[in-house]
C-alpha cells in the first residue's frame, strides 16, 4: 500500500474564470478588492466579498434565511454549553398583502426595507437580525435575560409603529408588526425547529389577539419540552455507555 505524501497541486490563479463572480459583485454594489489582480490578497478579497453577498438578503441587507439558520444552530449550542439565556423573536408585517394590493409591489419593497432598517437600528450589535421570508423577520438575542425580552420586543414594535414610510408615489404610510418570542431552554441541546415553533406559536397568538403586539412565551414554561427531554435523555444515555 502506497502511503507516500503527495503535496497539493498548485494552480495558476489566472486560470480561474472569475468574470461572472466579479460581475455579480459589481451588480450588487459590493466594493471590489484592492491590490494586484489575482494576487493572494486580491483573491481573498473576492472570496470574502462573495461570502458576504451570499449571507445577506438582497432587498434589506439583513442576514438571509440560510445564515439565520446557521446562527440559530450556533446559539443553541452556546446556550446548551453556557446556560446563558437567549431569546428568539419572530415577527411579520401586519396586513402586508393589503399594502401590495393597494399600493403595488414597489411600495411593498419600500415597506419591507423600512421595517428591516428599524429592526437593525434597534437591536444590539451582538444580535442577529434576519429576513426569513417575504414579510417575515427574525431576531436572535444572545445573553438576553427574561426580564429584558419584552422590553426589546416592545422597543422594536414601537419603533416600527412610529415610522412614517414614504412610498414611491410620495404617499405616507403607517404600518405595524406583530411579534412572538421564546427563550431557548438553558443547559439543554434543543433543536432549531422546536425553538422556531415555540416563537411562531407566540406570533400566531399576537395576531389572534389583534396584531400590533408582542407575545412572549413565559420563560419558566420554556425550560424543557417533552421533545427536548427525550433529546436530553438520549444524550445522557450516550454519556454513560
Transcribe the chain into DSSP letters. Answer: ------PPPP--GGGS--HHHHHHHHHTTPPPPPSSTTSHHHHHHHHHHHHHHHHB-TTT-SB-HHHHHHHHHHHHHHHHHH----EEEEEEETTHHHHHHHH-HHHHHHHHHHHHHHHHHHS-TTSEEEE-SSSEEEEEETT--HHHHHHHHHHHHHHHHT--EEPTTS-EE---EEEEEEEPPTTS---HHHHHHHHHHHHHHHHHTTSS-EEE--GGGGS--HHHHHHHHHHHHHHH-
Q: Of 135, 136, 209, 241, which residue is the catalytic one?
A: 135
Residue 135 designated active-site:
yes
Q: Which positions are annotated as active-site residues?
A: 135
Amino acid at each position: 500500500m502506497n502511503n507516500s505524501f503527495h503535496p497539493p497541486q498548485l494552480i495558476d490563479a489566472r486560470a480561474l474564470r472569475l468574470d461572472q463572480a466579479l460581475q455579480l459583485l459589481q451588480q450588487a454594489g459590493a466594493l471590489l478588492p484592492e491590490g494586484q489582480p489575482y494576487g493572494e490578497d486580491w483573491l481573498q478579497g473576492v472570496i470574502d466579498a462573495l461570502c458576504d453577498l451570499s449571507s445577506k438578503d438582497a432587498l434589506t441587507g439583513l442576514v438571509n434565511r440560510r445564515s439565520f439558520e446557521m446562527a440559530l444552530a450556533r446559539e443553541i449550542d452556546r446556550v446548551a454549553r453556557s446556560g446563558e439565556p437567549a431569546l428568539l423573536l419572530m415577527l411579520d408585517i401586519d396586513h402586508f398583502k393589503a399594502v401590495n394590493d393597494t399600493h403595488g409591489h414597489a411600495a411593498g419593497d419600500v415597506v419591507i426595507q423600512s421595517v428591516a432598517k428599524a429592526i437593525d437600528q434597534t437591536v444590539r450589535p451582538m444580535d442577529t437580525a434576519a429576513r426569513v421570508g417575504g414579510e417575515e423577520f427574525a431576531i436572535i438575542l444572545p445573553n438576553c435575560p427574561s426580564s429584558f425580552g419584552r422590553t426589546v420586543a416592545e422597543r422594536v414594535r414601537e419603533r416600527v409603529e412610529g415610522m412614517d414610510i414614504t412610498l414611491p408615489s410620495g404617499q405616507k404610510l403607517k404600518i405595524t408588526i406583530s411579534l412572538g418570542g421564546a427563550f431557548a431552554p438553558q443547559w439543554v441541546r434543543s433543536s432549531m425547529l422546536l425553538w422556531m415553533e415555540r416563537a411562531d406559536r407566540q406570533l400566531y397568538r399576537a395576531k389572534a389577539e389583534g396584531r400590533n403586539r408582542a407575545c412572549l412565551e413565559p420563560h419558566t414554561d420554556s425550560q424543557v419540552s417533552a421533545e427536548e427531554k427525550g433529546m436530553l435523555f438520549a444524550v445522557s444515555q450516550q454519556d454513560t455507555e
